[in-house]
Amino acid sequence: MAEKKLVEAITSMEEDFAQWYTDVVKKAELIDYTSVKGCMVIKPAGYAIWELIQKQLDERFKATGVENVYLPMFIPESLLQKEKDHVEGFAPEVAWVTHGGLNPLQERLCVRPTSETLFCDFYKNDIHSYRDLPKVYNQWCSVVRWEKETRPFLRSREFLWQEGHTAHATAQEAEDRTIQMLNVYADFCEEVLAMPVIRGRKTDKEKFAGAEATYTIEALMHDGKALQSGTSHNFGDGFAKAFGIQFTDKDNTLKYVHQTSWGMTTRLIGAIIMVHGDNSGLVLPPLVAPTQVMIVPIMQKKEGVLEKAAELKELLAAKGCRVKVDDADKSPGWKFSEQEMRGIPIRVEIGPKDIEANKCILVRRDNHEKMEISLDELGDKVTELLETIQKDMLVRAREHRDAHTYVATNMDELEKILNETPGFVKAMWCGEQECEDIIKEKYSATSRCMPFEQEQLSDTCVCCGKPAKKMVYWGRAY
């Protein structure tokens, strides 16, 4: 049976999660590999998801006063080196341009791995007075990091992202913006991607190169591994001092600005796959599904079937749904299977008998539920169902996350959980990097974040037994 063939083409996630992931990105036609090692083609089905992410995230940014700009993709080596921690963090993984046309360059240029240094160089000339503040700029672009091991969406040498860079008159305003954008990210993940996240702060070991504080949202994938899904950094005035970004304040004195940056990437598409996908393929939350409803005509060569399908399409499009008719010359079973692979939230089946009875079949992708409904209610039912699916997917993902969040009070418990029931592990920490290093070396787990919602699980550090300062989420991460 055709339906089986396509499903059999992907490995089951229980058998080999990594292979399941690779199979899904390929079979759902999200990406293709290229001759450029570590870089991918994002195909129409994948890019359309990114466009929906961009549009909805950009609207949320603009509602908070963000303006978009575009800065060069190249950074002169001397500029990259101005902030000490930053260059140490990035220099080992950038691509260097050494020739322009037929001539060697006087100074090497790196392809931006991130644009803090360029924004600083720009702000240095653009900011003079308190009247020029705040600057709340963002750019949508691609960046390059010369990774050794790559995986589609999760880690590639080039990826698409947005990077916000702001400058403020006071430390408090910078901190407020840092937290504000983290919350924009977290709300976006929950409300649009149906993906629950833990909001918290990174430990010093895990923070961004050059940041005073890094905040993060951490999501749990279906295999129990964590995925850092967005970060927001407060730089204090460190970059401002390195680059000389000063302004004349209201009191007529020269002050350094306080800066932030924050970013989310095409990695989110990887997160959607690993949070919601199943053994039939991709499962897309309706708000980021390029096609939300696929109408499959049954016995489509019979008179009136394709016409009815087209009519239902118009009806649903008029309701604001992204809807298509699959009238390809393939069996319905094959089509069902293809749409499941692609994660289309709702399937409408309509054949001669249905038309006669003025009804059709709706099938939900997320839970495979089938329902028969009257054609008279189709419009309302489908829009209502899209909302229900969006909500149910978040509830299910949260239940999975909570069911895979554990508590460890000592190293034995930590080891047992990580090896036997992978997930988030909540455990107390003394605040010393040494304990993070030990846990990483022994169990390949890292501190994901110190969550804003702290709990006092015990009084002592899970590793060294000394007095605990913070509860930390630990996990193995992508």
Binder to a copy of itself among 10, 24, 87, 94 (CB under 8 A)? 94
Q: Is 2 in the site for a copy of itself (CB under 8 A)?
A: no
85 versus 392: smaller Cβ distance to a copy of itself: 85
Q: Two tokens at 19?
A: 């292979």
Window of 70-78, 353-361, 408-416, 429-437 that interacts with a copy of itself by CB under 8 A:
70-78
- The answer to whether 63 contacts a copy of itself (rule: CB under 8 A) is no
Q: Is the dihedral of CA 138, 140, 143, 149 positive or negative?
A: positive
Taking the CA atoms of 365, 366, 371 and 376 in sequence, report the sign of the dihedral they define.
negative
Q: How far is the CB of 102 from a copy of itself (least distance, A)?
A: 6
What is the dihedral sign for C-alpha 117, 122, 125, 129?
Answer: negative
Q: Is residue 440 packed enough to be buried (19+ CB in 10 Å), middle (13-18) or exposed (0-12)?
A: middle
Considering only residues 398 to 427 of the shown chain, the ones binding a copy of itself according to CB under 8 A are none
Which of 393, 420, 385 lies closest to 277, judged by CA? 393
Binding test (CB under 8 A) with a copy of itself, winner from 1, 14, 15, 92: 92
Q: What angle do CA 103, 104, 109 make, to 5 degrees?
A: 125
229, 267 Cβ separation under 8 angstroms: yes
111 binds a copy of itself (CB under 8 A): yes
Residue type, 470: K
Return the residue of 93, 173, 327, 413 that touches a copy of itself, per CB under 8 A: 93
Strands 103-111 and 74-76: antiparallel
Nearest approach in angstroms of CB 142 to a copy of itself is 6
Cis amide linkage into residue 134, ω under 30° from 0: yes
When asked if residue 61 is in the footprint of a copy of itself (CB under 8 A), the reply is no
Task: Kindly state the smallest distance separating residue 143's Cβ from a copy of itself, in Å.
Answer: 10
Q: Which of 158, 206, 218, 436 binds a copy of itself (CB under 8 A)?
A: 158
Among 5, 59, 64, 69, binds a copy of itself (CB under 8 A): 69
- By CB under 8 A, residue 67 contacts a copy of itself: yes
* Residue of the chain from 2, 7, 97, 407 that contacts a copy of itself (CB under 8 A): 97
- Determine, following the binding rule CB under 8 A, whether residue 35 of this chain makes contact with a copy of itself: yes
* Adjacent-strand bridge partners of 109: 76, 97
CA proximity to 198, closest of 235, 173, 155, 229: 229
164: enclosing H helix or E strand? strand 158-168
Task: Return the number of the residue (76 or 465) whose C-beta is nearest a copy of itself.
Answer: 76
> Other C-beta atoms within 10 Å of 168: how many?
22
Site for a copy of itself contains 125 (CB under 8 A): yes
* Number of residues in contact with a copy of itself under rule CB under 8 A: 51
For a copy of itself, the binding residue among 137, 188, 262, 474 (CB under 8 A) is 137
| Cis peptide bond upstream of 285, omega within 30 | no
Examine residue 269 and tell whether it contacts a copy of itself (CB under 8 A). Answer: no
Residues at the interface with a copy of itself (CB under 8 A): 32, 34-36, 39-44, 47-48, 50-51, 67-76, 79, 92-102, 109, 111, 118, 121-122, 125-126, 137, 141-142, 144, 146, 157-158, 160
